[in-house]
Structure 1
Amino acid sequence: MNAVLAAPFTSAPVADRLAALFDAGSDSLLPAESGLRLARATVAGRPVLAVATDPALDKGVLGSAECADLRRMVRRARQTQTPLVLLIDSAGARLDAGLAIQGALRALMTELLDASLAGLPMIALLGRNVFGGASMLAFAASQRCYAPDTVLAMSGPRVLESAGGGSLAAVRDAIGGLARCRHGGAERLLDDSLPAYAAALRDWVQELPTGPLPDTLDEERRMLGLRLGETAPPPTARFAGRPEQGTLRCGGRACVGAADALQFAALVEQTQTPLELWIDCAGHSLHLGDENLILSQYLVHLARSVRRRVHRGQAVRLRIAGEISGGIYIAVAGAASSVDIAPEGSVRTLPQTSLSSILTRPDAAISNACAAASDYVELGVADTVSAPV
């Protein structure tokens, strides 16, 4: 066997990954404004579009330029009804970009949710590391493929370790490919080789229907509820209001976990009228129990639930009444019809304790600082700012 083809997928350069996946001689690179590799090609004779992060470039992080390129490719795939192949090996968002990355991720999440709900076939082929916003990108796809040593979570291993998740080795085992694949559904564990990933992609393409993929959101909610079982961390968010009358509040400065996200999604479905969401949450959970359940999937499920309402003509207005950060912001702000921030509200990249454990430079606090009201609108983090009461 060719030595290149025998190499592990998760350690192969991005150019070798792309070359191994497509029909020989069919791929051509497309212009990019970021560190992403964009390509069109054929797989088993069927045209596909592909986006690949490059882990050799600053751990494959997603900055504003990467988010813009991704949005453009998702939109092109929808317009041409072409399956989208996502090669993701990324430490997540470019956190030292400050608040701007939240606006970029919000816009990207909106594009991904619209594509998913329209039935666009998307497959995520995962490399060594998939964290934060990159993990939410993976769960917007209709199928995920990864190797035993892939680590996939909303929060990186060192953040989970510092939050009390046990040793670093134990944390990595809990969020690795062998643990993830046990949940079944759209999860698929592969041998860590270029031929195995190429075969999985070929099988996926050949099994695709001729039309859009069906809506599986309701079945996903049932499956995620069963997964919670008796082992999930208890909900920490407080919900109030009357969803059937168009208002729902999620507060308590909680860190939203899997059970919270699923309850939130169910409450959103309880009304067929325009809905106003008021949120005051610190961010997403850092509890290893939530990551065992694949927190990213629960957050993306919540986002799809909110966005499906919007697609059905039921406006959802998000009001940020307190603090919000991380995955819960990306999920709900990306799904809402509009986002308004109250004078006392704030959006941060991550809770400061998490950011400090990732960024050790003195500018970590600065990049996470609260912005002026006009900055939220200019950066796309919110659409409007409420006038002081």
Structure 2
Amino acid sequence: MMLNTGGVRVPEGANSLGAFRFVFRDLMDAKVRGLQVLSLVTQQCYGGGSMLAAVSDGVLVNAQSQISMSGPRLIQALNQYVEGDDVTTDQVRLVLSGKSRAATSDRFQLVEDDAEGYRRGIQRLLSSSDNLGPSINQSLLNLERRFAENGVIPSDRFTAKESIHPSIDKSKFGCGNSWSVRASLFTQDTQVGSATAAYALVTDSFADAESIYDLVKAIDALPNSISNINIFIDCPSHSPSLIDETLILSEYLATLALGVRLKHLSGVNVHVLVIGSSGGGIFAALSAAASRMSMLSAGSVQVLPRAALRAMRRPDENLITTKQLLESGAVDDMLEDLSSVLS
């Protein structure tokens, strides 16, 4: 794949979300069936494009290539607006560069920015004996090591929200050690032999690399007796933090999507439900991977959260209606309440 993209266009709203859902889902299914996926990024690759790169078995980049979930302008604006960190454009672009990506992840291969460099890089990837990328288990180990390798200390964990949703009794969820400073991951207490597992990813802010890692690790560890997984989402978007981009956030999101999709393809019914707000990479990853994507009628989905638009001084032009979400295929159905799911 040639991936030079600025990401989905915000004004296209539901159509962009629906189109990416189908493209990403089909790519993951083909990869699981054994298709070797190689990508080339000669310029910039932001948003969903970086998730496509992150499920590739190999990605050729040059030193000036830019790869990230959020574009440099958004990262800089949000870090100043939310984090209070005054990061420069040069600092952001250095983190997102092909040179930095290749130093962080074996998936990215640095080549010279000319035809001969790309030709040799493609030949090297095609001739590699280890050309189908790491397994989910190996990916999880790589992502876990990356926290320490990049000097990211796991946060003091705490609950970000006292309640998940009025329809959900929080007491039914066991709050162990799986929630990060940015988002809370509630894991349902299940009886031995139960056929259903449930998770709720909820946050007033954004889903960071740590909370995404927690979720995919928990799902991957489920016993084979589980035949149904419910994932409740109230999370406006992925994190635009420069720290999370240092870790290559798109690889965390892609691993989550692929891990959930593997459960679906193995016969597990994976039902993702938007119970509050959702959008960005977290919605893209889970909607593509799910067996069924639902949303409460009181919920909302957007391409970018309002905080991101405000930080970039852009109008809130991405209001998406229920009808648009259904017609585009971004979601499969609407629910008035959770009674049918929690019964």
Q: What range describes the TM-score normalised by the shorter chain of this pair?
A: 0.7 to 0.9
CA contact (8 A) 2:107 2:133 kept: no
Residue 203 of structure 1: how far off its partner (Å) = 2.2
Counterpart residue type for residue 218 of structure 2 = L
**Rounded Cα–Cα distance in structure 2 between residues aligned with 1:174 and 1:375:** 36
1:89 has 2:89 as partner: no
Question: Equivalent residue of 1:202, what SS?
Answer: helix
2:272 equivalent to 1:318: yes
Aligned length: 297
Partner of 1:202: 123
| TM-score, normalization by structure 1 | 0.72
In 2, the alpha carbon distance for the partners of 1:162 and 1:214 equals 34
- Relative distance call for 1:214 and 1:90 in structure 2 (3 A) is closer
* Cα distance in structure 2, aligned partners of 1:350 and 1:280: 14
CA 1:102–1:131 in 2, change beyond 3 Å: closer, same or farther? same
Q: Deviations over 1:331-351 (max 9, x none)?
A: 011101001110221110011
Offset at residue 194 of structure 1 (A): 1.3
Matched letter for residue 190 of structure 1? V
Q: Which residue of 2 aligns with 1:282?
A: 236
* 1:369 equivalent in alignment to 2:312: no
2:145 equivalent in structure 1: 226
Matched letter for residue 380 of structure 1: G
DSSP 3-state at the match of 1:347:
strand
CA RMSD of aligned residues (A): 2.0
- Tell me by how many angstroms 1:193 deviates: 1.3
| Residues 295, 232 of structure 1: alpha-carbon distance in 2 compared, 3 angstrom cutoff | farther
**CA distance change for structure 1 residues 214 and 177 in 2, over 3 Å: closer, same or farther?**
closer
Q: C-alpha separation between the residues in 2 aligned to 1:275 and 1:195?
A: 47
Distance 2:90 2:267 in 1: 47
| 1:159 Cα deviation after fit | 0.7
Residues 233, 273 of structure 2: 8 Å contact kept: yes
Q: CA deviation at 1:248?
A: 0.9
* Distance in 2 of aligned mates of 1:296 and 1:174: 13
| Within-5 A mapping of 1:109-188 | 109-164=24-79, 166-188=87-109
**Alpha-carbon separation, structure 2, partners of 1:355 and 1:313:** 39
Q: Does 2:295 align with 1:341?
A: yes
Task: Kindly provide the amino acid, as one letter, of the partner of residue 72 in structure 2.
Answer: P
Question: Within 2, Cα distance between the matches of 1:252 and 1:213?
Answer: 34
CA distance in 1, matches of 2:199, 2:332: 20
> In 2, are the aligned partners of 1:232 and 1:290 still within 8 Å (CA)?
no
- In the alignment, which residue of structure 2 is the partner of 1:105? 20
Unaligned segments of structure 2, at least 5 residues: 80-84, 156-179, 191-195, 339-343
| Bigger relative contact order, structure 1 or 2 (CA pairs below 8 A, ≥6 apart) | 2
Using structure 2 for the length normalisation, give the TM-score. Answer: 0.81
For residue 94 of structure 1, report the CA deviation from its aligned partner.
Answer: 1.8
Moved more, 183-192 or 330-339: 183-192
Structure 1 residue 130: Cα displacement: 0.8
The whole-number CA distance in structure 2 between the counterparts of 1:177 and 1:214 is: 19
Give the percent of matched residue pairs that are identical in Structure 1 and Structure 2: 25
Secondary structure of the corresponding residue to residue 2 of structure 2: strand
Unmatched 5+ stretches in structure 1: 1-85
Give the distance between the partners of 1:159 and 1:340, measured in 2 at CA.
29
Q: What amino acid maps onto 2:270 in structure 1? A: V
Task: Give distance in 1, aligned partners of 2:189 and 2:146.
Answer: 25
The 8 Å contact of residues 138 and 144 in structure 1, kept in 2 or not, is answered as: yes
- What is the correspondence of 1:21-36 to structure 2 with a 5 Å cutoff? none
